[in-house]
Amino acid sequence: MAKKRILFVCLGNICRSPLAEGLFVEAVATQGLHARYEADSAGTNRYHTGELPDPRTRQNAESHGLALTHRARTFGRADFDRFNLIVCMDQQNVQNVLALARNADDEAKVHLMRHYDPEPGDGQVPDPYFGGADGFEQVYQILQRATLGLLSRLESDPSLKN
Ligand code: 4NP
């Protein structure tokens, strides 16, 4: 069976989405599911293209034993062809991605990350970029829950459409 390909999307691709990618890959490895999933991340703006994740994101992830090596890249229309599921951190990311959708099939691939969080709060992963260290830890806790929630949804419903 072809691998299911998941793309995590935020604004800069240096804080939230590379951490979501790292946590999802970690959960896939822990559960022995490498053969079934691939993950990547992208941002809807190009300000940080080529950069490693923000030092605060990397430090927080490393404090939880997770090393992040993703290099930021910009979301593009071709990503609709490469990925089965496009999981966005907030509504602005959803709007930016949907603006590039070509048809209803593209649109149906776009989801909000906190849809998979058992504690969904306001439905969005807050942008920690302009805040303090506690914001990065809050994002880590949200994304740890939501990535596990997403993986268990995918495992129980491989045709996941929402
Ligand atoms: P991210 O955070 O979308 O979680 O990667 C941000 C990073 C950079 C900027 C905004 C958000 N920025 O405006 O440069």
Average pLDDT score over residue span 139-155: 98
- 8 Å CB contact between 101 and 80: yes
User: Which residue's alpha carbon is at the smallest distance from atom 3 of ligand 1?
Assistant: 11
Note the residue count of the chain.
162
The model's pLDDT over 91-140, given as tens digits with 9 standing for 90+, comes to 999 999 999 999 999 999 999 999 999 999 999 999 999 999 999 999 99
The model's pLDDT over 1-23, given as tens digits with 9 standing for 90+, comes to 789 999 999 999 999 999 999 99
User: Which residue's alpha carbon is at the smallest distance from atom 6 of ligand 1?
Assistant: 12
Is 16 one of the annotated active-site residues of the chain?
yes
User: Which residue's alpha carbon is at the smallest distance from atom 7 of ligand 1?
Assistant: 12
Question: What ranges do the domains of the chain cover?
Answer: 4-156
4-156: CATH number = 3.40.50.2300
The helix/strand/coil state of 15 is coil
The model's pLDDT over 15-49, given as tens digits with 9 standing for 90+, comes to 999 999 999 999 999 999 999 999 999 999 999 99
DSSP code string of 75-114: --TTHHHH-SEEEESSHHHHHHHHTT--SHHHHHTEEEGG
47 lines ligand 1 (CB under 6 A): yes
Average pLDDT score over residue span 35-64: 97
**42 DSSP β-pair partners:** 9
Distance CA 67, CA 74 (A): 21
Q: What is the pTM of this model?
A: 0.97
- 159 has pLDDT over 80: no
Average pLDDT score over residue span 143-159: 93
10 lines ligand 1 (CB under 6 A): yes
Across the chain, what does the average pLDDT equal?
96
14 lines ligand 1 (CB under 6 A): yes
- 162 has pLDDT over 70: no
Q: What is the pLDDT of residue 161?
A: 58
Q: What is the pLDDT of residue 157?
A: 83
